[in-house]
Amino acid sequence: MSRKNCRRFCQGALSGAAVITLIALAPGLVGASLFPPVESELRPGPSTWRRIPAVIDGPAVLQAESGGTGFWLGDARGVRRVGSEGVAQRTFHRGPVHDLALAPEAWQRSGGVLAATDDGLHRIEPGRDSQRFTALPGRVHRLAVAGRVVIAATDAGLIVSSDGVGWRSLATALPKAPATAVALRLRGDGLECLAVVEGRVWRVGLQADGQTWKAVATARQIVPRRASDEVPVDVHLPGPESEGLEVVVYSDSFAVRSPGATAGSNPWRRLDPGLPPGLSIRRLERILDGWWIATDRGLFFAADLKGPWQRAASPLGGADVSALAAVAGSLYAVGAGGLWKQELREKGVAPARGSEAARIRIGWENDPPIEQVQRVALEFLELEGRWVDDMRAGVRRRGWLPRVTLRAGLERERESNVDFDQSFSSGAVRYLVDRDRGQSDDFDLSLSFTWDLADLAYHPEQVDVSVEARQLLKLRDDVLDELNQLYFERQRVLVELSARSDRSAAERIQLRLRAAELAAGIDAWTGGWFSRSR
């Protein structure tokens, strides 16, 4: 299989989900480690995601209702309310919607929601016309609500209100620049705000000032960044149970500030969740007592920000996920081209962990070990890396090879002369004709060898080989990541099938079909070897 066809094959392969995630080690060495369990009170259940009939137009946002009977969905075409029965009814026809938040109880009359759009901030209530807040013109990026206070992150900065009537800009305390993210929580008799303004993180303390609020303490936060142009995508101020935790979300990691930081040192520290390389975080959500990460290449969950992070079940385990919401014991998510639902279950028995757990075989004994499956897949897809080594060796030898030039030439001459003479002799005129012909052929052949000695030290094509090697490594990581999801999702299904003997015939058939589907996905990566080896 050519490398071009291999990439096309890899990009079109199926995505799976893993409850136990595998880590691919250095090239040429593949190993596995078992992640410890998530100790949350409500965890993703054994069932797979169930699709809810709803057409999603572009990236979407979700907001659960306070009563737990349904939720709001916003996308590029407006806002819809989705009831407990899963029926979506569009109530607002203006988008795109960038964020949703429940309107404070002091503002609403019948369960309204606030929608941040390119056209400003709107309040939407069932059975009523939408209301646009004229004090917030232009684009609104994010919303934060605490008590009766709402803060909007807009192109004009942060704007705050406690009644929806009077709005106050915080531009006097912060740079007058676009604000792209904001979080808010109650703190004593005031409010604590964390925001991203002009790409920088700011903490703002707010106090009541009559019918509105004003900034009383403002400080820019020195948050560790990996690049000078790295901009946070989100900020979080979890509730009282998190004891003052503050989180800044970047595209591939977090920065965390704990209240117990040592005086005189930077309280912010970078936290790497250990996600697969190349993905981009879209949202970090605190749902129930766990954390969820929505990325452009999968949905992950953990009981703590430190991890371990586990992939959700397929198809969202490897899909582009843009929004999450928990409603009445169910988790709803937008991704893989639609709206999905999964039941949450009570915390179960924790699986074995540690080095002993890494040696436990999960699932049918007939299944080959994951290490062997990985090696066969890499060999089938020609991703072992041998051709990169061959190219590097060839480039190193190329400096010793001369440039060979072969030249050949042929020169051919032809000459023909005719002379006419007239003579008078013995009273008579005589005519004389003299003809002369000549021919010559010259043949030239040369062979030359030229060496560029600079290529012995550094050949310019080494850069091209390095680029190809990095692309191969990224492609290899993607293949192993997808393969691990399929393999361990199959193990989980097989364990679930054998753990209980009281399942109905329909349930057992469904689990067997799911196991066969996952085996077919692994066969696609291994050229049918997986099924033949069992």
Q: In the structure, what pLDDT confidence band is assigned to residue 295 with cuts at 50, 70 and 90?
A: very high
Paired with 430 in beta bridges are: 423
Task: Identify the pLDDT of residue 234.
Answer: 94
Most confident by average pLDDT, 6-20, 36-50, 425-439: 425-439
State yes or no: pLDDT of 22 exceeds 60: no
299-326 burial code (b ≥16 CB/10 A, e <16): bbbbbebebbbbbbbbbbbbbbbbbbbb
**Mean per-residue pLDDT over the chain, rounded:** 78
Model pLDDT, residue 294: 94
> CA angle, 13 as apex, 12 and 18 as ends, to 5°?
140
pLDDT at 357 (0 to 100):
35
Per-residue pLDDT at 265: 72
Half-sphere exposure of 306 (CA within 13 A, CB side): 6
CATH architecture classification, 94-222: 6 Propeller (2.120)
Lowest mean pLDDT among 37-46, 150-159, 371-380: 37-46
Pairwise CA distance, residues 167 & 525, whole Å? 57
- Percent of the chain that is helix, strand, coil (3-state, to 5): 20, 40, 40
8 Å CB contact between 184 and 176: no
Q: Which of 342-351, 421-430, 514-523 has the highest mean pLDDT?
A: 514-523
Q: Say what the pLDDT of residue 251 is.
A: 92
The architecture CATH gives domain 51-58+224-343: 7 Propeller (2.130)
> pLDDT band at residue 492, thresholds of 50, 70 and 90?
confident
- pLDDT of res. 334: 92
Instruction: Provide φ and ψ at 505, rounded to 5°.
Output: -60, -40
**Strand order in 120-124's β-sheet?**
97-102, 113-117, 120-124, 131-133
Res 456 pLDDT > 80: no
- With b for 16 or more beta-carbon neighbours within 10 A and e for fewer, the 76-103 pattern comes to ebbbbbbeeeeebeebbebbbbbbbbbb
Looking at per-residue pLDDT, the higher value among 312 and 30 belongs to 312
| Domain layout of the chain by residue ranges | 1-37+350-399+457-534, 51-58+224-343, 94-222, 400-422+429-456
| Of the candidates 181, 200, 178, 202, the residue with the CA atom closest to the CA atom of residue 192 | 202
User: What's the pLDDT tens digit per position in 259-271?
Assistant: 766 556 778 999 8
* Rounded Cα distance, 346 and 299, in Å: 20
pLDDT for residue 337 is more than 70: yes
Supply the pLDDT for residue 364. 47
Give the model confidence (pLDDT) of 397-430 as tens digits: 777 788 899 999 888 888 888 888 888 777 788 8
Cα gap 46→15, rounded to integer Å:
18
Rounded to a whole number, what is the largest CA-CA distance in the chain?
148
Distance CA 140, CA 236 (A): 18
Asked if pLDDT for residue 137 goes beyond 90, the answer is no
CA distance 512 to 485: 17
Q: Give residue 267's identity as a one-letter amino acid code.
A: P
Query: Residue 278 region, left (φ>0) first, then alpha (ψ -120 to 50), else beta?
Result: left
CA distance 261 to 371: 42
pLDDT, tens digit (0-9, with 9 covering 90-100), for 175-184: 889 999 999 9
Hunting for tokens 């916003």 — which residue is that? 74
Note the pLDDT tens digit of each residue in 94-115. Answer: 889 999 999 888 775 556 899 9
Q: How far apart are the C-alpha atoms of 275 and 226, rounded to whole Å?
A: 16
Distance CA 300, CA 281 (A): 10
Evaluate if residue 19 carries a pLDDT over 50.
no
Q: How far apart are CA 456 and CA 452, in angstroms?
A: 8
Residue 321 — very low, low, confident or very high, per pLDDT cuts 50/70/90? very high
The CA distance from 98 to 94, in Å, is 11
| Whether pLDDT at 217 is above 80 | yes
Contact 175, 198 (CB under 8 A): yes
- The pLDDT assigned to 187 comes to 83
| Predicted pLDDT at 500 | 66
